[in-house]
Structure 1
Amino acid sequence: MALVLLLSLFAPGVLAQIVLDFNCTTYTTEFVYAPTATVCSNTYSDATCALLYPPETDGDVVEPATSIARPFNCYSADEGATVSADMKKAAVASCPKTCGYCCQTDAYSCSNVQFPRLNCATITSAQCLSSQWRTIIAQDCPSACGFCNEGGCVDGVIDCANDISICNAVGMQDFVNTYCQRTCARCSSASTTAASGGSGGSSSGCTSYIADSSTVCPSWAVNGFCTNTFYTLAQRKAYCATTCKLC
């Protein structure tokens, strides 16, 4: 570590690289920011964050796959000589995107289930917004989309909350049970338990699942079978225990 710091001080080509704090980075031939470094929004306005956390070099912006130096104020009170836990805590709370700390915010810093139905590492921002994938991601890969605080339950359609009257609309109950579970309080106990790691749902404590008795479980899961309160936990386990990750 001392050698890295000395190189950063004396070698111009290395000066604008990530040093000391490697959170939210990955390593290829050098340390670069991971996609989760800037996936969130700043709590303060972007303009305010730019003033509070100016880049080491004018015009530099922390972005995935780049290795520019993280703004010193994000993690240090002495221009990058040492890491300050207090400075870092303040940056994560106020300007995580500007500082490349999104992966350390509460919404993104939780564990995914041990046996996810998707590859959590390859989930895209489009999938995070897709009605086809959101409910599955919230249960299996919450850290990929910032769903860590959602208890395993999200709306499949992102604009449900724009008109909450839909929750009680006649003829719309099948729709809201599937796509507006969070807004309309239709989250199943199985999905909440899965996120908290309790019994009866998917959790990191499960090592195996009963085999699915139906061959169409993947299609049913996409349509909300694993989370729809219309079906009992016993029914979900009887037909799609593996797909729904039910112990």
Structure 2
Amino acid sequence: MPLSELKDFLDDKVIQYNNSSFIETDPVQIPHLFTIKEDAEIVGFLAATIAWGNRKMIINNAKKMVALMGDSPYDFVMNHREHHLEPLESFVHRTFNGIDFITFIKSLQHIYQNHGGLETVFAKHQEHNSLQPAISQFKKVFFEAAHLPRTKKHVSDPLSGSAAKRINMYLRWMVRNDNSGVDLGLWKSISPAALSCPLDVHSGNVARKLGILTRKQNDAKALAELDAQLRLMDAADPVKYDFALFGLGVFEGF
């Protein structure tokens, strides 16, 4: 299929899936629960971190995280005492457990106290057409706080070969303003043009069938290949095609 025809096809799919009804079954609904920027970006980061497995379970467990923070995530992160963390010990989502959750709370506090917050860290290290180096630097900053080695696996590093699907999804939520009520567009210091597709098994398989991805593994090299193709279709908003690829894979079994 010629690139122009493929673009028209995918543009139609973006319109089909990038709308408010998408929120009902997607973890993006978690940051939509809050109106204060810091609340939304914190719960968004936590929800994205556990976004693997059954989507209903992801959403339910993300809501449990919110409840364990007293429905006031930014206040909890900034003002908790050690005894406030004890209820978090019971949390578990697949391999992400209470120890990891507590470490994330302390690391988030470190980010806000010493680095100006989540947006500031990502924005500081962004490049013209890529946030992958910024993700790698974010991981270094995030784990400046005391942590167990086991917790580091829950933050991906693109410079170590990962496609960093969950963080790229989180960045889409925070940066992209789609005017359709799905992505929140809270961060104004990062351009949507620098975003990358949250590459997973669904979007990867669809991209291969469409001929815009040849690499078999869903890794950093595959992401770079897919990014290049999506930017040919829309350099200003390449990650909008995540809705098309994901929708075709999950909802249509393409």
TM-score bracket relative to the smaller structure: under 0.3
Q: TM-score by structure 2 length?
A: 0.27
Quick one: higher RCO (CA 8 Å, sep 6+), 1 or 2?
2
Q: TM-score by structure 1 length?
A: 0.27
The answer to which structure has the higher helix fraction is 2
Greater CA radius of gyration, 1 or 2?
Answer: 1
